[in-house]
Chains A and B, each alone.
Chain A
Amino acid sequence: SCELQQCRALARRPYGSAASPDPSKGGILQYLCNRFYDVEYLVGWSETLRYRNLRRKNAYCGYIKGIYGDNAAAAYFVLSHRGRVRFQGQETWLCVDRRGNFSYDFVELQDVPVVAIDLAGSVLNYNGLDNLVKLTALKSLDLSRCPHVDDWTLTRLQVFKDSLEELSLAGCPQVTERGLACLHLLENLRRLDLSHLPSVPTPGLIRILVEEMLPRCEVVGLAPAAGAQTSRDGREEPGVPSGDRRAGEIPA
C-alpha cells in the first residue's frame, strides 16, 4: 500500500495550468476519504448516483411526444420541473400549484406553439433541452438560477436562432464568457439578462464584448455601464431576479 500512497501523492500533485485548484477543504469527509477506501468508494458511488438522478430528471419525454406532439411534451417537461409555460395567443401562464401538481389542460393546446418558457431554478441541463429543441416559435426562455446550465447548454440554444427574443441566464453559476461567445448565433435576441454570473471573471469587459457581438440586443446585468449605479468595491450588485419582474415582460 506504500506504493499506492506514493501513486496517489503523485496523482494529487497540482499539475494543472488552467486554474489552481482550491486547497483541500479539510473537513471530516475529506479526512475519512483519504484514510478509508470504503468511504472513498461510498462518496464516489453517491456521485455516480447524483449524475444518474440528474440524467433521469432530464430524460426525454418520448411517450408524451409520441401521443400529443412536441409542444405538449415540452409543456409537460417544463411543468414537471415546476416551471411555467405559455402558449401562443394566451395571456396567462400555465403554472404548477404549491405542491407541484398541474392540470393536463395543455394537451388540448397541442397544435398551438409554445412561445414562452420559464424554467428558473430548475435542474435543467444539456440533456433536458432535448425536450425543447423542437419548439420553433419559442420567443422567451428563462433559465435563471439553474445550477446545471453550463456553456454546453448555451451552445444548444442555437436551435432557437430564428425565434428567440428574450433570454435570461441570471444567476447561473456555471455559465462563463466562453459559452456566452456562442450566443452570437441568436440573431433575433432583443433582451439578454446576464446579471449575477459568478463564473465570469471580468464582467465589465464581457458586457462590452457581448453588446458588440449582439448590437440589437439589450444586455442586462454584468457590470453596469458607465454612469449606472455601482457598489462601492466596483463589483456588480447581486441582481437576483425577482418573481414580480417576469410578469410585465411577456413579449408581445
Chain B
Amino acid sequence: MIRAGRLCRGLGLLRPRPLPDPAGGSAPPSRQLRTGHPQRRDLFSDLEKEVVKFRKKLRQSLPGSDWDPFGTTKGLPPERADVVIVGGGVMGWSVAYWLKALKPQKDALRVVVIEKDPTYSQASTVLSAGGIRQQFSLPENIQMSLYSAFFLRTINEHLGVVNEPPIDIQFNHSGYLFLASEDGAADLEENVRIQRNEGAEVSLLSPAQLKKKYPWINTDGVAVASYGLENEGWFDPWSLLNAFRRKAMSMGVSQCFGEVMSFTISSREIMTPEGELTFSRINYVRVQMPNSLEYQPVECSLVVNAAGPWSQKLAEMAGIGIGPPNTQEGIKLPVEPRKRYIFVWHCPDGPGLECPMLVDTTGAYFRREGIGGNYLGSLSPTEEEEPDIQDLEVDHNFFQEKVWPYLAHRVPVFESLKVKSAWAGYYDYNTFDQNAVLGPHPLVENMLFITGFSGHGLQQSPAAGKAVAELILDNKFSTIHLEKLSFNRFISGEQVLERNIV
C-alpha cells in the first residue's frame, strides 16, 4: 500500500498531504533521530528525474553516438598521428604552431602534443626569468634571437585568434647590460662586433659613461660594458606559452595530458663505411594516462623530443645512448636537468625605471620586476656546488652567501634589501657545449631534437620551432641555418661554444 502511494506521489498523481498530527504525548518517530541520509537511494521518489536521465542515456546509445557501455577515458590521444611532440612547453607548442602555420591546408598534418603535467608546475618555460637578448657570440644564437624579437613584436599577426582579445606578453623594453672585467673585455668587444654584424643594436660603454648613465652602479673592476639598445628585455613566459597553445589548438593540433613511457621500435643493421650500424625507427609511442594504468599506443611517423630537462630520458627510451661505449649507439644526448634559483627582493631605494637586466662580471644578474621597487635575480652555481635536482626546493643560504655579496658590491643600495620570495626551475643543460640540439638523430631516423637550450630556450622558441618545422616539412632549414647545432657534433666532438653563458 505504502509503495503504491509513493509511486503515485512520485508520478505526481497524488499530492503529498500533511500527516495528521499524532496523538499528543506520543514519542516522535524513530526516523527523526537519524542524522545521515537513507542508505538506499529512493528510486521512486524522484522517478521523473530518473526517467529523463534514462531517456538521455537511451538517446546517447543510439547508433552514431560515441557512447560506450564500458565508458571511455577522456583525453586519450588519437591512435594515429603524423607528428607526436613530446613535451608541451613553449618549444613543443612552437613546433606544433609552425607545423600548422607552414602547412595551412586543412588536415595536412595530424599533430599531437603530449604533456605530462597539466598544471605546468615544474615546467621550465613558466619558471624562467623570461629574458630575451641578442648579446650572444654565436651568430646562430643571435639570428634566432633577432627572429624571436621580430615574432614577439608582431605576435598578434602570428598568434592572434579570431574573436579573442589581443595577446599582450607584457614585454618590458629594458636591454641587457653586460659588464666585463679587464680579462673579459677583449671577449666582450669581439662579441659586440659579431652582434653588430648580425644586425643587433648594441652599444659599448666605458666605466665613466656607465657611472654617468646609471649612478647607482659601482664600477670597480669593470673595464667595459655592453648594452642592448633594441629588441632586448623580458616578458611573461606563461602568456607566450598560452598564446602558442591557443593558436595551435585553434588550428587543429590536439593536446593530450599523459606521460610517454616507452616506444615501439623497429631496427635493422646496415653495413656502412664506418662499420655496422643499427638504424631504427619509432613506430609507436606508448602514452600512459595520468592517475591511471590505461595507456594508448600512438602510431606515428615522427617524434619531436621537446622534453627539455627530461629529454635524455626520452632519448634513452628510443635506444639513444644505451649502446656499448665508444660506438655511435653509445653516445648519449648530453642534456640533463640543472636546478637554478630565482630570488625576488624588495629594495625601495633601488634602481629606477631605467634599470636594465644587469649581468655582472661574476655572472650574477638582476632585473627590475614591476615598478614597486622589486627586483629579481640570481647566479648560476659552479659545477662543484650544483644543487640536488630531486625537487624544486630553494636553498635560501645560496642567496645570502653567494648572490647577495656580488649584488651588494655592484649596486651598493642592495646592501639593505629584503628577500620576498624565491623559486627554482630546471635548465635543460647541455653539458657538452651549453647550446641547443636541433634536428634528427643520425641513427634513430624519426626522432627530432629541440632541446638543450641551457637557459635561453624561451627567448629562442619562436625561431627554433620554425626551424624544426621547416626541417620536418622541407627537410632543410630556410629561415635560419642551424646545421651547426645538430646532434652530429656529439659524434664528431666539435663543440659549438658560447663565450659568456648566463
Contact = CB atoms under 8 A, between A and B. Distances in A.
Nearest to B162: A44
A34 to B, nearest CB: 8
Contacts of B175: 182
A33 B163 CA distance: 8
A21 interface: yes
Interface in B173-206: 173-175, 201
A210 B164 CA distance: 33
Given A15-B242, A212-B353, A181 B173 contact: yes
B172 A51 contact: no
Interface string A1-38: 01000011011100111110110100001100110000
| Consensus secondary structure, chain B interface | loop
Contacts of A205: 371
B426 to A, nearest CB: 20
B352 interface: yes
Interface string A187-225: 000000000000000100110011011000000000000
A179 B165 contact: no
A2 B66 CA distance: 10
Contacts of B353: 177, 180-181, 184, 206, 209-210, 212-213
A44 B159 CA distance: 12
Given A51-B157, A202-B371, A210-B353, A21 B164 contact: yes
Contacts of B169: 18
Given A18-B169, A158-B201, A179-B173, A47 B162 contact: yes
Contacts of B242: 15-16
Chain A contact residues (Cβ within 8 angstroms of B): what range?
35 or more
Contacts of A185: 229
A163 interface: no
Contacts of A33: 162-163
Interface in A52-71: none
A40 interface: yes
B254 interface: yes
Interface string A131-170: 0000000000000000000011011101000000000000
A126 interface: yes
A178 interface: yes
B250 interface: yes
Contacts of A206: 353, 371
A11 B173 contact: no
A240 interface: no
Nearest to B237: A17
A250 interface: no
A156 to B, nearest CB: 6
A7 B173 contact: no
Contact of B255 (A10, A177, A178, A181): A10
A102 B172 CA distance: 39
B238 interface: yes
B163 A43 contact: yes
Nearest to B372: A205
A87 to B, nearest CB: 27
B78 to A, nearest CB: 10
Contacts of A48: 157
Contacts of B278: none
A18 B172 contact: no
Given A180-B353, A184-B353, A213-B354, 10 more contacts: A2-B66, A11-B161, A15-B242, A24-B163, A177-B353, A178-B233, A181-B353, A184-B213, A185-B229, A209-B352
Interface of B: 66, 153, 157, 160-165, 168-175, 201, 213, 229-231, 233, 236, 238-239, 242, 245-246, 249-250, 252, 254-255, 352-354, 371
Cβ-closest 5 pairs across A and B: A184-B354, A21-B165, A11-B249, A209-B353, A182-B173
